[in-house]
Each structure stands twice: as structure tokens, then as C-alpha cells.
A and B are shown apart, each in its own frame.
Chain A
Amino acid sequence: MNVRTHINALLRRGADLPAVSLSNRCARCGTRAGRRAAQATPLHGLRPFLTVCAALLATTFLAGAQPNELFQKAGRAYDSGDFAGAAAAYSTLIQQGYSTPQVCFNLGNAEFRLGRGGAAALDYRRAWHLAPRDADIAANLQFALEQTGAVLPAAPLWARWLQSLSAGEWRATALVLFWLLAALGCLDLLWPARRKLFRPLAFAAFAALLIALGGAAYWLDLQVRQPEAVVMQDSKVLFAPLPNATEYYALPAGSIVRIETQEGAWLRINAANRPGWLPQTNCIAVCAVPAG
């Protein structure tokens, strides 16, 4: 039994065993190897404390090592041409909650190599949500859309401005401004002689805080309400939510549309100011943190 197995056994069995045992087996894991490993420790008397520390360290270590190994494994699969394997590994990482821009971007690459333009566009868009200023993500998204014939929807000027920072950056900015505003408020109250200096600064910080909160709210809306969706395959937008309704226009895979409402299994979408109906199965909502 190696050390990691021993630690895992400790974690599994918990700390409810007696701290001191006269047997030649480890009091925690019940193995002789564990007993030897424990006796080899100079601070054997601090076993309960060390057990808890080891468990905490092991948790941290495994949590960091596992996604990295999986990420590297996915990269090797991609390099060897096993794009399906790479996509599966990246998808596993996302299902585990590691939806970083890098993982989403690489998953998009794997999907693109597999010829799934819609899925690639979806992953690139998710990566873009997490890192909107990343030039590689923007370029790959544009390229994927060009390959499928889709067009990147044009955002209004204010939205483009809010997209210059990611959700996390807006939140961090808001947090800093919140503390700065409080500090300026304290100084303004306690140091009235310098009020002419502090008060304009406080107003400027307050205005900046409102803008930062607006940016954070913009991204939160995209992540929670999920008004954006990506069409997964070439689809026909219909005039009505009926299977035999008239086709309004065609949308190539990868098209990014705006969801307006949902009626049963149908979504009323809007692409380039042309509202129409799509089956719900034809598109997937863009969310930076997809459900596992």
C-alpha cells in the first residue's frame, strides 16, 4: 500500500477509530503497512492532528492533479488525431466544473476537427463568455462560423463596451471600487479638512462602481437567463411553432440566435431581427457554466 492509498483509506474510514491502538495494525486504516508508515513518522503522537492535515492536503492535491492530468491527456489525444477522445476528455473536465476558457476553447477545436461546426461554435462562444478579449477565441469562433456559413450577430455599442471585460473582471473591479468607495467615505467623514479632495474621488468611484455593477449584471444575465443559443445543425426557421409551418429562413449550424420565448418544445428565436420558431432540440443555450 503506498502513501496515497493509505491516505485515501484514512479519508474513507473517517476519524471515528481510537487514536491509540496496541495492535500491529494501523488504528486508522487497519493495515500493517499503515501501522509502519505511522510509526515511521517522528510525530507519531500527533496522529489525530496529522491525519486531519493529511486529509486536507490530499484533497487539495487530488483536486489539482486530476484535471491537469485529464487536460494533458486530452491534448495528447488531440495531437494524435483522436479528436473524439480529446473532446470526451475536455467534456469530462467541463462536467466536473472546470469550465475554464482553455478547456472550452480546446473542446471547440476538437469539435471543429470532428466536423461539428455547431458544437464548435457553441464551445468557442462559451470560451468567449469567459475570456471576451482573447484573440484566439474570437478568431476561432469567427473561422468556425465562416466555415458553416453563419454570421456573428452584431451587438450594440454599449454591449460591446461591456464585453471588453469578462464577468470575473467586472466583479473584481466592482469589489475594488466598493472597498475604495468605503475608504474614501471614511476619510471624508474623519478628515473634513480634505473633504474637497475626497468627495470628488468618492463620486467618481461611485460612478465607476455603478458601471462595474452594470458590466457584472450584463454577464450574469447571459449566464443565468441564457438568452443566447447556438444552432447545432442546419435548421429551418418556421413562421409558426408547427411541424408543417412555412419555412421563414434557413440558419446554418453555429448561428448564434437570441431566444425570446419558449412554447413547449419550440423556441421563438430572433436572428438578425427576424423572429421565427425553431424546435428546442435544434439549439443549445450558451452558458459559461454548462450543467454537468
Chain B
Amino acid sequence: MRTHFFIAWLQVAAVSLALAGSAGAAPLSVDWDVQPRVLRLGEAAQLTVTVQGDNGPPAPPIAGLTDVDIAGPSVSSMSSIVNFTRNLSASFTYHIVPRRSGTFKLGPFDYKIGDRMFKLKEIELQIAAPTPAPAPATAAGGPPQQATLNDLVFARLDMAPTNIYVNQSFELTLSILFRNVRLDNGFSLNNWAPTGLTLSQFGEMPAQRTMLNGQVYEVRQFRCQARALAASHQRLAPTVRGAIVTQGERRRRGGPFDDPFFDNVFGRNVQTQPIEIATQPLEFDVHSLPEAGRPANFGGAVGHFTLEAQVKPNDGAVGDPVTLTARIAGNGNFDSIAFPMLANSDQFKTYEAKMTSKELDGSQLAGSKTFEQIIIPRTMEANRVPAIGFSFFDIDKGQYTSLTAGPFELKLHPAAAGSAVIAGGGMALANAPTGRDIAYLKPAPAEWHQRSVAGELTGPLFWPLQTIPPLAVLVAFILARRRDARAGNVRLVRREQAPRSARRALRAAGEALAQNQRAAFFEALADALRSYFGNRLNLPPGDVTAEGLRQQLAAANVDRTLAERVQALFELCDRERFGAAGGAFDAAAAQTAVDDTAQLLRQFEKVRL
């Protein structure tokens, strides 16, 4: 097991080494920098020379500097492989301390690595002479006096560029400069509601230093993107609201916890004094775009742009789709850029253009947009896709610039047999249209109806009629429920069948009487009684006897007279059926028996059993 793991490890290591060996090396480059470039006399700056593409270069020739003390270098090197590319780098760091105040330059230096020579461009340093501290805070730890505060803390609003046209995007930079005071981190803007401008959120830039009137100022910079919507005169004069840290437990400088963050974390005594930092008003004019020379296809784009376009495939048959791709790149207001699409023509059928990609930087002002449009050559003569044009206002030149791309040649061959024919094309046909115009007037409608917004279905009977379908469904539903209920209730079904079965038997008795059939008559009469009471009382056919019926009727508290009449009829039928009776068949008496039976059953229909 352990042997297998070792072999696997060796394989991984071998592959890694192979990859490292086969990886290409990044190109050699040299960069150098000094930070900060604005110093007070006595402060140290850091000089760094960074070499990319080599992790063992010779030390740079930083020598011959007469006005600074230099210490170093400290060397660090690094090697890494990313995406099969070997990145080697080395950096040399020096600490330099100016010996005098004023402005002086470092470099240029020639730096030779192998057989290549690099020139390190000169860097200018500004060194401020030491000045007495202008009472940054009162003796009691309070804020500085207002007279000196405006000198210690002030703000500036700058714009770039300064010549602004309508719809042009530009940068607004708010700089807060301060010295000899500590400013709290939070700032807010007052009186900041510019009209006619669209502004993005302010984002903070890296802190800097600058020298003004021989003093070193710390600078905090905030930048936003602005765009003017209309020609106007703009005056921006915001006030910055911030706070000065006036009191705090002054700690020994240096050490791992020398950061304002720990002041709050460890509950140190930090107090702030709000201040309003005045800003010099920034006034500028937004110029309207000139009418003169405005191209017809100008869509509002302002900036600097390039246009590239191509068609693919450029070899095909009539009727085959061709993709026209256009890429507009540059700097400016990309949201105003639309594709210079081709219109339908006799030679080309065109479809709506679509934006296929949009690659913009964070400011949304630089990048590119790519559009595609499908076009279809209608005829063999459509062997040249017309040029497309795009116009923008060049803010540097102060004039409109039109870009064109194309025309694009197409190698066409006739469409294959059976392939689609593009409608409206210019095929040379015998009956091809020679002119175009609108279709002639239409004849009068067959019927005239006044229309309303709700449409034609608004007659007085319309909505009442529409209640019929749901009502029909409701009725069907009720009927189905009744049917289903009856299907499971034998007593109810037999109760409903009782009068029908009795009537049927009585009809049979009447027929037997008409044919003078004595036995059949009494059989039918008895059947009428049996079927009726059998169904009414839900009894099996064999259980309907005179005695049984008497008991059932007595239990149901039926009128005694009615029960006796039923009993008598049963006995009469039994006598006649089983031969107990004699003599001739008395038709009148038989009819009376039928009528009595019918009347009796009608009375029983009203009796609850």
C-alpha cells in the first residue's frame, strides 16, 4: 500500500516537472516606482524595481544619487505556473531618505539584463522643508481654529475633460486635502443635486499625497462618472461633511496595533468634531451638439469609436442567409449606440439586427458592442452587400465623424432546384411586377354594425344566454347525483317502482277481464297487490303474504279499515286462484275488484309505511 502511494506521488511529481519544463515563460519586462513621491524632509520613501520574466536578474544600477541616502536592496523572487505559463519575477526594494528639501529627479537609469537593455524613466520627487506645526489642535485637545482649519482641510472638485458636449460622459473627481489633522473615514455631500446631469456613485481612489505652497497634503479622492443630458450651464458647489478626530488616547507610534481600527475595537477614547469642508465651485458649460454637418444616421453616440464589419459566409447560393457582423469599439456613451442595420431592398431581404456581445469596462464608457444581422440575397445581382455606416460626434475634434465598412463582395450561385424563393425578390419572371402602389379601396361591408370597445357580442340577450351552459351543467350535475344516490338505495328505487308495477299488473288484469279469463285475472290482481306492497315495504317476492302484510301494516300503524280491505282483497285472490271459489265469472264484480284495488293503492300512496 505504502509502495503504491509512493509510486503515485512520483507520477504526480513527474507530471508537474514535465509541465513546468514545457511551460512557456512570460516575456521580460522591468518596472520601477517610488512611493510616496511627495515627502517631508526626514521621511523615507520606498524605491522598488520589479523584473517580470526572470527571477535571478542582476541588481539594478541605482547609484550616483547625491541628494538622498539609500539603503538596500532587499531582494525577493517568485516563480509560478499559471495556465502553462511560467511566471518569474524578482523585485529589489530600496529605502531612500532625502537630504534636502526641494524637487529633484531620480534616474533615468540603464538596466541591463542578459543581452537586453531597459531604460528606467526618471521619477520626480518633491521634498517639503520642515515647518513649525500650525497648532493642529487646541491645548485641550479641541479642534483647530476655523481660520487655520480652512488651510488645513479643504476640498476640490475637478472634471476631465473640461470641454463637455451634450451626452458626453466625463469624470468628476472630489479631492479632500488635509494636513496635520486626522479625518474620520466617513464623508457625505451636502447641496449636491445637479440638474441635467446623470451621475454614478462616487468611488474612492487610492490615497495620494500632493504638495501645495510648500506643504505636504494627504489627499483622499472620490470619482464618479457624469453625463450631461441637455445643453446648460452647470455650477457645482457641494459641501463635504466630515469629522476631525479631536481626542484620543495617544499611543506610542508603531507596533502591530498602530491603526485607527483598533481604537474602536479596544474601546479607546476617540472623539470626533464634525466639520463642513467648503469646495471651490466648479462651473462649466455643456455645449449642444452642432446641427451643422450632422449625418443622417447619427444616433447620439459621442466619443471615439471604430467600426469593423464583415459578412460570413461570402460564398453561397441565392436565398442562403448571410450574417453581417459589425463591431463598434472605443470610448463614449455606448448606451446610445445602435447597429447601422441594412434595410430591406429588392436585392436583399433583411432581418432585425441583434446585439450579440457587449464588453464594457466598469465605467461603462470603454469597450465594444457587437451586432449581427441576417440578410438573404434575393437575386443573382445581389453580389455586393451595401456598405454600412456609423456616425458619432468626436469630442476632441468637435465635429461629427462618419465611419463606413464595406461594401462586401458575395460570390453567389443560383439557388438549387426546390429551394426557397424569397418573396418579393427581383427574379426575372415574365409576370414580374413593374411597379408598386397601395391596394385599391375595399367594397362596403355586407352589414353595418356600430362597434364598441367590448366588441360585437354585446347584445341585450348575449349575457343572459351565456348563463344557459353553466345552468345546464348544474342540472346535469344534480341529475347525476340523484342517479348515483338511487343506484345505492334499493328501498328508494323499489318505492318509486311500486305504483308503476301495480299499474302494469292492473292493466294485465283488465286485459284478462276483457278476455273473460278468470284465472289470469285474479293472478294479475294478486300480482298487483304483491308487487306494490313488496316494493313499498322492500320485501322479497315470497314474503308478501296476507298474514305477513297484516303484521307489517299493523306495525306501521296503518288505518285498520285500509288494512282489512287489503286483507280481504288478498283473500279473494287466493280463493279464486286456488279454486276455493265456485260459480261463474262475474265480470262486474271483477271490475269492481279492479277499481277497489286501484283506489286502495292510490290511498296507500298517501300512507307512510
Contact = CB atoms under 8 A, between A and B. Distances in A.
B480 A289 contact: no
A67 B336 CA distance: 50
Which among B343, B436, B441, B480 has the greatest number of chain A C-beta atoms within 10 A? B441
B174 to A, nearest CB: 25
A159 interface: no
Contacts of B480: 189-190, 192
Contact of B441 (A99, A109, A242, A272): A109
A245 B229 contact: yes
Contact of B448 (A67, A105, A190, A239): A67
B229 A186 contact: no
Contacts of A139: 438-439
A272 B371 CA distance: 14
Nearest to A100: B445
B450 A96 contact: yes
Contacts of A239: 167, 229, 300
B225 to A, nearest CB: 16
Contacts of A106: 441-442
Interface in B467-482: 468-470, 472-473, 475-477, 479-480
Interface in A159-181: 167-168, 171-172, 175, 178-179, 181
Interface of B is mostly: loop
B10 to A, nearest CB: 60
A186 B439 contact: no
B352 interface: yes
Contact of B473 (A63, A189, A272): A189
Given A101-B442, A185-B476, A189-B480, A247 B300 contact: yes
B230 interface: yes
A40 interface: no
Contact of B230 (A63, A72, A181, A240): A240
B480 to A, nearest CB: 4
Interface residues of B, number: 45
A143 B437 contact: yes
B41 interface: no
Contact of A248 (B336, B437, B449): B336
A235 interface: no
Contact of B455 (A71, A167, A248): A167
Contacts of A67: 448
Identify the interface centre among A63, A146, A224, A289: most chain B CB within 10 Å of its CB: A289
Contact of B469 (A105, A167, A182): A182
B197 to A, nearest CB: 11
Given A167-B455, A190-B479, A140 B438 contact: yes
Nearest to A146: B344
A249 B338 contact: yes
Nearest to B286: A246
B416 interface: no
B20 interface: no
Contacts of B344: 146
B473 A75 contact: no
A71 B446 CA distance: 12
B259 interface: no
10 contacts: A67-B448, A98-B451, A101-B445, A136-B439, A175-B466, A182-B469, A186-B473, A190-B480, A248-B300, A289-B452
Given A106-B441, A178-B469, 13 more contacts: A64-B448, A101-B442, A102-B442, A140-B438, A168-B457, A175-B466, A186-B475, A189-B473, A239-B229, A246-B167, A246-B300, A272-B338, A274-B338
Interface of A: 63-64, 67-68, 71-72, 75, 78, 96-102, 105-106, 109, 112, 136, 139-140, 143-144, 146, 151, 154, 167-168, 171-172, 175, 178-179, 181-183, 185-186, 189-190, 192, 223-224, 239-240, 242, 244-249, 272, 274, 288-289
Q: Which 5 A-B pairs have the closest CB atoms?
A: A182-B469, A97-B450, A186-B476, A136-B439, A189-B476
